[in-house]
Structure 1
Amino acid sequence: MTPGLAVVALLLCALAAMTGFRDAPNAVALPVRFRALTPRLALVMTALINAVGALLGIGLITLSVHYFTSPAVRGDVGPLAVGVTAVVAVLWGLLLWWRRLPGSTTHAVLSALAGAHLAVQLSLHDDLAGSILESVRVEVVLSLLLSPVIAWGLARLLTGPVVQVATTGTTVNVQRRARIALAVSAGAMAMGHGLQAGQRVGVLWAAVLLGSGAALSPDALTAEFVVVSVLFALAIALGTLGGAWRIAWTLTERLVRLDPLRASVAAVVPAGLLFVGSLVLHLPLSSTHTATAAIVGAGQTQTYASVRWPTVLRVGGWWLLTPVVCAALGLLGTLALLPLA
């Protein structure tokens, strides 16, 4: 491995750790809030399942890595663009964590990568319009935009029937059912997030290897790719152990106040969507956006005003700001460092 590739691998490990750290609350916030799991057990379980899911996700992308790889981002500029993307996504994730805001690492990565790709096109004086239209995947954009709407709609639609069915019996039994559903959803959410995170980081690393001339196919996986993939999975697991409780507090206290049954619905819906996105549609989805939208949707079904709309609007404003800022930083950072390549 060349020094340049080693640096990119370390940056992607940092991105993987940040992904696990920031997205851990999506799986553990609700189960811990309603005492379905203890904080330590929830984080350890989520970290282990995240690592397994990441390895599976990285294995899946070897079948379709050319789908994401642009011929323009080859040679020395490929690792540079990916490295800038990782740095931008990590810094943006730290900023949102400091401000206690749930945000999408997926949106940050794709936006920064688009900005870096545009910088490469500008430096090569290629046909920008044709290149960008060829690289932009409409289905990817639609999946990222529509998945929160779908999560919100499913949570609102399913909460009523679930509450009616699950409230039969004593209060103790109702609480027990809700806690079981929350505990199971934490594991499912962790697996779905691991699949998505593994595919996200793995495809960046695979694109770097392809750009540097390495052979990558299901029949020709290099030892280098396998070893680095394990490092990515470990980084995701270690990041998950951090917990990011600042964001978890926002999801459970500042955004919406839920009862255990509605919380279980809000936890199951995004987990199911992540599985569909990874294994059926093969599209990137944001676990944070789907989880947050499902929590808001479930909260709106309560008879009292439980949704804190000022906080919801504030979170939505930062969501809209993410692609703009990350794309601009990816563009400027790549243009500044391109002379090195």
Structure 2
Amino acid sequence: MDTLLILTVLVVICALAFDFINGFHDTANAIATAVSTKALKPRQAILLASIMNFLGAMTFTGVAQTITKDIVDPFTLPNGSVVILAALIAAIAWNLITWYYAIPSSSSHAIIGAIAGAAIAAAGVHSLNYKGFIKILEALVISPIIAFVIGYIVYSIFKIFFKNFNLTKTNKNFRLFQVFTAALQSYTHGTNDAQKAMGIITMALIANNYHTSTDIPFWVQLACATAMGLGTSIGGWKIIKTVGGQIMKIRPVNGVAADLSSSIVIFGATFIHLPVSTTHVISSSILGVGASHRVKGVKWGTAKRMLITWVITLPISASLAALCYYVLDLIL
């Protein structure tokens, strides 16, 4: 069998594995508030998230095209399939490590950092598409800040509007509404996160001359949506407990505010074709809601630990990917 074909098949398998792992790694973020407030039982929430993630992944491809062309140029990247394979191995390894230790790390930071690290190892810093790469980094940095602000504002509006309502009755009604917001958040998660694997596979197809444009083939979109949906069905209960309960004590009204805020940010990013970290956005919206509710009620120690993990993810995944590239380049 042709070496390029073998490498392409390996990339497709690893990309789908990354998407699958992303599904159970990041599912927790999308449904954590709904489970924590008992709006949904864990298995109900995971089933809902699976369906909505699949539907979201089948709706858009703009983010996938950004991943395909804005980090590196797949048409000119030397040894492209090895670069992409090394990036996937590194990102998968980091995701599994953080999942095992129940740390809500960012799959987006992991794969973007890994692609950059492997590309630099293969062809130097100049192999990066500076303009596109900086645009992606800006989106990753700014989106959590926006999510925090929107979360703070949305919950502040809720407090004003519902200040004369019975809290118990309000929370009961919001628990029902939270089923809808959990579905919405899972859908927006699919519109952004599943597309990263689509972009990676398309990069490999272009690099190995099996595809001639940055348009995403339908079979790639369907395969990635399915992998994300199946991964979501397994779920990530460890991270649900971290995101849903260790940042702040979440009531239904808090959960709805956080879900709405993060959905707005994620869908907005998808609409303008920018990849964001759904982990960062969701956790930051919860922090914003918590700060609006009661600053002292936020468990800032947990937030600090999460922030440190987020900051180190990109350089660690880049370094791991560079190491993987050197090893693969010696073997292949």
TM-score (norm 1): 0.88
Displacement of 1:246 in angstroms is 0.4
Structure-2 separation of matches of 1:258 and 1:64? 34
Partner of 1:231: 223
The reply to whether residue 309 of structure 1 matches residue 300 of structure 2 is: yes
Q: What is the rounded CA distance, in whole Å, between the counterparts of 2:29 and 2:107 in structure 1?
A: 12
Q: What is the rounded CA distance, in whole Å, between the counterparts of 1:272 and 1:262 in structure 2?
A: 16
From 55, 75, 78, the equivalent of 1:52 is 55
Structure 1 CA distance, aligned partners of 2:67 and 2:128?
Answer: 20
The residue identity in structure 2 corresponding to 1:164 is: I
- Of 30, 37, 42, 2:40 maps to 37
What's the CA shift string for 1:282-321, capped at 9, x where partnerless?
A: 1011110011111111111234721112211111111111
The one-letter code sitting in structure 2 at the alignment partner of 1:233 is A
Distance 1:84 1:64, change over 3 A: closer
Report whether the alignment pairs 1:181 with 2:183.
Answer: no
Q: Deviations over 1:50-90 (max 9, x none)?
A: 1121122347745994445514425xx21211111111111
Structure 2 stretches of 5 or more lacking a match?
none
Distance 1:184 1:304, change over 3 A: same
3-state SS in 2 of match to 1:325? helix
Cα deviation digits, residues 172-221 of structure 1 (max 9, x gap): 54123311332111111111111112321111111111111123459x87
Aligned partner of 2:94 in structure 1 is 92
Letter in 1 for 2:47: V
Residue 211 of structure 1 corresponds to which residue in structure 2?
207
Residue 315 of structure 2 is matched in structure 1 by: 324
Question: Who is 1:192 aligned against?
Answer: 188
Q: Which amino acid aligns with 2:286?
A: I
Q: 1:202 to 1:264 in 2, by over 3 A?
A: same
Describe how 1:239-318 pairs up with structure 2 within 5 A.
Answer: 239-279=231-271, 281-303=272-294, 305-318=296-309
Seen in structure 2, the aligned counterparts of structure 1 residues 138 and 208 have a Cα distance that, compared at 3 Å, is: same
* SS at 2:81 equivalent: helix
* Equivalent residue, structure 1, for 2:84: 82
Q: Hey, what does 1:125 align to over in structure 2?
A: none
Supply the RMSD in Å over aligned alpha carbons.
2.3
Unmatched tracts of structure 1, length 5 or more: 123-127
Alpha-carbon shift at residue 24 of structure 1 (Å): 0.6
Distance 2:140 2:274 in 1: 9
Q: Per-residue deviation at 1:140?
A: 1.1
Give 1:133-148 correspondences, 5 Å limit: 134=130, 136-148=132-144
- Scaled by the length of structure 2, the TM-score of the pair is 0.91
Deviation string 1:133-168 (CA, Å, 9 cap, x unpaired) is 646532211110011111111111221111221354
Please give the secondary structure, in 2, of the residue aligned with 1:137. Answer: helix
Equivalence for 2:118: 116
Length, aligned pairs only = 328
Contact 1:262–1:298 under 8 Å retained in 2: yes
> Whole-Å Cα distance in 2 between the matches of residues 304 and 230 of structure 1?
43
Change (3 A) 1:215 1:324: closer
Tell me the distance in 2 between the aligned counterparts of 1:60 and 1:320.
22
Q: Which amino acid is the alignment partner of residue 13 of structure 1?
A: L
Structure 1 pair 132–63 and aligned structure 2 pair: CA distance change class (3 A): closer
Alignment CA distance shift 1:153-1:133 (3 Å): same
